[in-house]
Structure formats: C-alpha cells, structure tokens
Amino acid sequence: MITEDGQAKVAELSRIFKVTEVTIRQDLERLERQGLVVREHGGATISNVGGNVRELAVVNQQNMAAKQAIAMEAIKLINDGDTIILDSGSTTTEIAKLISGFRNLRVITNAINIAMILGRDPSIDLNVTGGEFKSPTLSLTGDKAAEYFNNIHADKLFLATAGINLRTGLTYPSTSDLVVKKAMIDVSDSVYLVADSTKIGKSSFASLGALSLVDYIITDEGITAENAKMLSDYDVKYIIAKAIER
C-alpha cells in the first residue's frame, strides 16, 4: 500500500488489516530497517519517492520491453477524432510516448507525467482530472478525480492493473484508485486493459471487479499457455503484442 500510495497512516493500516497500531508500528520499523520506507509521525512514506517525482518517472519500471510492445499494439487502436482516457501507470506512459500525428484527438488522464508528455503537442486536446496527488504513480486520485468523469464520454479507455485473476478479477495494491478506475470504465465505450503477462494469474490487495468490466486485455508474448487457455475458457478476449525488434 505504501509503494502504491506513497504514504500511509498507522491508524488507517490498523483499521484495514484489523491489527493493533502497536503491530503496525513494529511492521513499519522492520520495513524502515530494510530501507523500504521512512517512518514519520503517525505513519510512513516510501523511501525513494522524492527521486521519482523530480524525474517524473513512475516507481514501477519492471518488464519495460513487454510494456513497450503492449504500447505499440495499443496505439494501433487509436483513430483520428477519438476521445481516449489514459489511466496512470508505466504501460500507459509508454502509450503516451507514442501518441503523435492524430487529428482531433482528445486525451483525458489522471497522470501528471502523461500530461507533461502530451502537453508538448499543441494538436492534442489534453484534459487532466483533479484529485489528490499520489507520488509513486504520479497520479491524481480520490473522489475529486472520479467526479471529473461525470457527464463525460470517451471512445476508448486504456486501463492499468496490478493483478488479473478469474476469482478476484482486476486487483490493485490499495483501495485509493478504485473509485477513479470505476468512473473511467463507466464512461468508456471500449475498455482495453494493458497488462504485461507477469500480472496474469496474480491477485493484489483490492478488487475492482470481474474481468467482464473490460472488453480486451492487451498483453505480451510471455503469457503462458495455461493462462491463455484460462482466458479463452472464460471468453476473455485478449491481444498478444509481439516483441519489438531491436
């Protein structure tokens, strides 16, 4: 949760995990000794949060080759005149880097780094939600971010996730983004879940809902035969992005 949100309070963690505040403080002390968090009054923050904000880089930089391949596949689905939503995340950031040359394209995002990438192109009609700032994902979240989507319509949503599992559905490391992601889904005609293959079959802390919330999953060639069969057996449509030739 701290990695996802950038910080957490002892009282909140105690309530969520149903343990005493003493236990949470002991856990935070251990995490601090491991160099993962920095304790502060009433809670803790992620240890490397300042660097990623200065560099406008999301914390999760794993499996970047797969994410870049997924972005190449996703960009093929965008057309002139579209209104698209780009969720925050490392894969959607790669999509943003490839967006150019479209006519009458409107992009809505809750990610500060994506806004900075697309803001360089005056031909893009760029819209950014409000909300509370989350430093690890450089995103805006919470009820204010969700309210932005009231009375909005989008042709396509490119949605991020932390885990894809038939039993738990779409899952995330914390509850803070669920209301925003649900609002994005509700206003979009087509929902494309962009997720590298390491996330398939895994579950994270908080569930957004069933896989039926999305229309397609765009993943990479690393998907196992077992996971591909699992998706097919449950009529989950997926697109496999081919590796980028270097």
| Domains of the chain, CATH where assigned | 2-47 (1.10.10.10), 64-241 (3.40.50.1360)
Lowest mean pLDDT among 34-38, 51-55, 188-192: 51-55
Summarize pLDDT for 203-216 with one digit per residue, the tens: 888 899 999 999 99
Q: Specify the pTM.
A: 0.85
Give yes or no for a contact between 197 and 207, defined as CB atoms under 8 angstroms apart.
no
pLDDT given at position 58:
62
pLDDT given at position 173:
83
| CA atoms lying within 13 Å on the CB side of residue 32 | 13
Mark 47-77 as b/e (b = at least 16 C-beta within 10 Å).
bbbeebbeeeebbbeebeebbbbbbbbbbeb
Considering just the CA atoms, what is the radius of gyration of the chain in Å?
A: 18
> Beta partners for 132?
141
Lowest mean pLDDT among 47-56, 65-74, 111-120: 47-56
Summarize pLDDT for 111-130 with one digit per residue, the tens: 999 999 999 999 999 999 99
Give yes or no for a contact between 29 and 39, defined as CB atoms under 8 angstroms apart.
yes
Q: When comparing pLDDT for 53 and 186, which is higher?
A: 186
Query: What strands, in cross-sheet order, belong to the sheet with 188-194?
Result: 125-128, 106-109, 83-86, 154-159, 188-194, 216-220, 238-241
| CA atoms lying within 13 Å on the CB side of residue 48 | 13
**Cα(126)–Cα(114) distance, integer angstroms:** 10
Looking at every residue in the chain, the average pLDDT score rounds to 90
Q: When comparing pLDDT for 104 and 8, which is higher?
A: 104
Structure-token pair, residue 103? 């006519």
Flag whether pLDDT at 72 surpasses 90. Answer: yes
pLDDT given at position 243:
83
Flag whether pLDDT at 54 surpasses 60. Answer: no
Summarize pLDDT for 3-16 with one digit per residue, the tens: 777 778 899 899 88
Task: Grade residue 153 by pLDDT with cuts at 50, 70 and 90.
Answer: very high
pLDDT given at position 235:
87
Rounded to the nearest 10 degrees, how much is the dihedral formed by the CA atoms of 201, 176, 55, 219? 20
Task: Grade residue 45 by pLDDT with cuts at 50, 70 and 90.
Answer: confident
